Structure 1
């Protein structure tokens, strides 16, 4: 038996698509990028006063070259496949603060290294990310090289890319290519760049340039609708989704016109809203489940993989709110078979913070969700009628632990399930205190990846001396 979760009708999905086409044609998109304008003009789009207008034929022609799946390679030549309805988890992306044992401090080099180590030793994190936390403690001109260098030094899993404009995107991809020992970066996909649009219908120069660069160099992109409910969008779920989908469509079209066949991962709006707040974003709102489900329908409509779901919560504490909101967001991703889940573990404080204990607890929750979506089998062996018949109406089934039990149930390490007296005798541990011990153990047992002399020389050009 399997769990199923969906939303909407085919007619409603078609309505969102048709409204998005109308927005692209009548409202248009601002890309703030001459290279983007040139590409659109070349393919017959109308460009006036910095606004691109595209008709349905152009959109449909571009969408016809979208691949359904792609293989993403790591430095050792291993790969994961994105687009087969299997969830692959990626780390956080840019929190400014780090929470340890309930205390907050600004991100720093030690925390960056620590989280890379936790990701590499994780059973649930499948992807590495140079953008794990904010690195404003590094001089501006050195930041992007530093991000990449530290990730290459400590990580072996498939790596997300850098997207701060054409120069950074090009240099970082070429550097990765050399570090991986490849002759040509176009030979295989070694990076996926997260391209975040701006509301209501615009994309920055840096994001536009990065999108084009990734496409031309044969790499993949995640296109995220960066709208905020009621601020850069109408104050309705349908309105925000039509607008966000239109912007994703526009970016997908640009990627395909720049290089047909560029792999694109769809990322619709997956937070909620609270208009009492200055930012209006409320990542823990129950409406996030509706938004994520809509994203699944739209990604399937266009035949592309989906990024959605997070470990995010608006709570600043490791409390009931944090657990409930994080579970909601993680559960949705697994029920909907999201292919790529960025921010998979550790987030607090509306994406502003990441916590060590939160990271470990989210990991265990993801393990339980992987177990959940497998469901359970019903057949002659699992029904166990012979056992029921043998025991009779008044007997007991208390016996040696069976294989069926170990298959159908998991035994978490961090949840406190023992009786009260045993818990007292153990010193009243909490899930959080057990998580502290776990992340400290993981850091202690981490081993550095092997590295050639040539790779070490590349790192020396990327990482400032004080951080080597």
Structure 2
């Protein structure tokens, strides 16, 4: 928005939608019935530098509108994921990644690319942020999960028994659901201040590094054909050049 197309979201949608539909039509002419996924890019241009901004409220709104268009066309939709302009696992990274991925999920996107691990307009990748974004994805999955309104979930008999002054903590209804009812993060902390002061490490990026090390140490190499493994190693080495 503002460089290769109009600066407004509406104007950007016109030109990007036309280009995308043209590509879809071409694909169907070449190979009728070929599967397709609809998705439009709509990122602002930094008016100070001319640079590409990948995580912004404008981009998030663009994603919501694009998803609505895909539903109108009855075509599966893909969007960007947990994106950020930051290059560290800081508040900015969490804020922008949450905004981008939550908007996509609530809009009804079918496929979300780059859902974990990217920094700086996708110019960098971090295993630590990948782990943090896993928590974000699980939190959003819980957010999207329909609320249960069954007889057991309403717990009317228990409410009649205990009312507002009883304690529900030791009841079997609580015990049977205590490990599944709430989202339990792997990385985020939930503790009191005095315990937090005793924690080591405290910072999220350091805790993510610690968790990453544990995962790598627990890794078990799967059985793989030696020739296939050799080809994979050669492929990776060639891509590094």
The root-mean-square deviation of aligned C-alpha atoms, in Å, is 2.3
Aligned residue in 2 for 1:52: none
Structure 2: stretches of 5+ with no match in the other structure:
none
**In the alignment, is residue 243 of structure 1 matched against residue 15 of structure 2?**
yes
Shift in Å, 1:264: 1.1
Aligned residue in 1 for 2:132: 361
Q: Contact 1:252/1:264 (CA < 8 Å) preserved in 2?
A: yes
Aligned residue in 1 for 2:109: 338
Aligned residue in 1 for 2:89: 318
**In the alignment, is residue 432 of structure 1 matched against residue 205 of structure 2?**
yes
Summarize the Cα distance change of 1:456–1:319 in structure 2 as closer, same or farther, 3 Å threshold: closer
Summarize the Cα distance change of 1:456–1:346 in structure 2 as closer, same or farther, 3 Å threshold: closer
- Report the structure, 1 or 2, having the larger helix content: 2
What is the DSSP-based 3-state SS (H/G/I as helix, E as strand, rest coil) of the residue aligned with 2:132?
A: helix
Moved over 6 A (4+): none
Q: Which has the higher contact order (CA 8 A, sep 6+)?
A: 1
- Taking the aligned partners of 1:398 and 1:300, their CA distance within structure 2 comes to 44
Q: Contact 1:376/1:408 (CA < 8 Å) preserved in 2?
A: no
Aligned residue in 1 for 2:193: 420
TM-score, L = length of structure 2:
0.88
**In the alignment, is residue 447 of structure 1 matched against residue 220 of structure 2?**
yes
Over residues 119-157 of structure 1, what are the superposed CA-to-partner deviations in whole Å (9 max), with x where a residue is unaligned?
xxxxxxxxxxxxxxxxxxxxxxxxxxxxxxxxxxxxxxx
- Taking the aligned partners of 1:439 and 1:365, their CA distance within structure 2 comes to 16
Structure 1: stretches of 5+ with no match in the other structure:
1-228
- Taking the aligned partners of 2:181 and 2:87, their CA distance within structure 1 comes to 35
Summarize the Cα distance change of 1:428–1:250 in structure 2 as closer, same or farther, 3 Å threshold: same
Aligned residues: 237
- Taking the aligned partners of 2:215 and 2:180, their CA distance within structure 1 comes to 27
Over residues 294-317 of structure 1, what are the superposed CA-to-partner deviations in whole Å (9 max), with x where a residue is unaligned?
111121222221110311111223
- Taking the aligned partners of 2:216 and 2:137, their CA distance within structure 1 comes to 20
Over residues 51-75 of structure 1, what are the superposed CA-to-partner deviations in whole Å (9 max), with x where a residue is unaligned?
xxxxxxxxxxxxxxxxxxxxxxxxx
- Report the structure, 1 or 2, having the larger strand content: 1
Over residues 307-330 of structure 1, what are the superposed CA-to-partner deviations in whole Å (9 max), with x where a residue is unaligned?
103111112232211110001111
Shift in Å, 1:453: 5.1
Summarize the Cα distance change of 1:374–1:393 in structure 2 as closer, same or farther, 3 Å threshold: closer
